[in-house]
Amino acid sequence: MHPDTVYQPAFAEEDNALIPAGAAGEQKYDVDAFKAAAKSGDYLSRLKLMTGAAGKCKDGSFPMNHYALIKDQHFQDLGESVDILVVTWRPKALEIGEAIITVFDTESAEFKRIQAKSTEPDSGCMYGPEYLVWISGVKEWATLFMGSKSSRRESPQLQARLEKAATLTPHKIETPKYTWFSDKVMPCSSPIDMPDMEELKATVEKFNNPPVSEIEKVETTGEERAR
């Protein structure tokens, strides 16, 4: 992973500064203040392994089998492995179509409908545990959805790391017909830069109390669809 990565601008890094160094004085506000001001809504970022099935990998705009921290339409490259603190989890069902439907109540008819439909090819439906994680290298909160068949099979390893650190890496899976990559969960051997405990409590409270369901009408690029 790239621990020094914070925000990646859309313009080229080699663009020359137009103001002489120091002429504008020292920047008054720090990176944390920028993140708070630039946040478009009260949504947690998402942590996702970008495999060959992702549209951004297909068009070459994002490295294949790298982890992405996704906020709004910005995909931050975290590299081929990422160290996380696994904080807590919740059940989630997700349907992607003309609208994105998210359901957290496992007893609801809508959750069960999405769960059943997930077995159909190209249904846009997934279900599984979703984790609240702290990404140590970039000091960011994110959700990690283990909604595909492969990731659900690996999710007990993540469940075993609750309140502990873990390292995520891509894992190659092969069958006689297909080859794909999914998450591999391992104990973390690197020190974790811990979050502020008051912030942790507030983030857990928000994560543990989502709306029963959400419907969002947005354009999608198929990034959520995976085996």
Print the SS3 string covering the chain: CCCCCCCCCCCCCCCCCCCCCCCCCCCCCCHHHHHHHHCCCCCCEEEEEECCCCHHHHCCCCCCCEEEEEECCEEEEEECCEEEEEEEEEEEEEEECCCEEEECCCCCHHHHHHHHHCCCCCCCEEEEEEEEEEECCCCEEEEEECCCHHHHHHHHHHHCCCCEEEEEEEEEEECCCCEEEEEEEEECCCCCCCCCHHHHHHHHHHHHCCCCEEEECCCCCCCCCCC
Does residue 160 form part of some domain? yes
How high is the pLDDT of residue 177? 85
What residue numbers bound the domain in which 152 lies?
45-216
Does residue 14 form part of some domain? no
How high is the pLDDT of residue 42? 63
Structural domain count, the chain = 1
Low-confidence ranges of the chain (pLDDT < 70): 1-16, 31-42, 217-227
Does residue 13 form part of some domain? no
Residues 47-87: pLDDT tens digits? 999 887 777 888 877 988 899 999 988 999 999 999 999 99
Does residue 21 form part of some domain? no
Does residue 11 form part of some domain? no
Does residue 139 form part of some domain? yes
Does residue 177 form part of some domain? yes
Q: Tell me the whole-structure pTM to 2 decimals.
A: 0.78
Residues 134-147: pLDDT tens digits? 999 999 999 999 99
Does residue 194 form part of some domain? yes
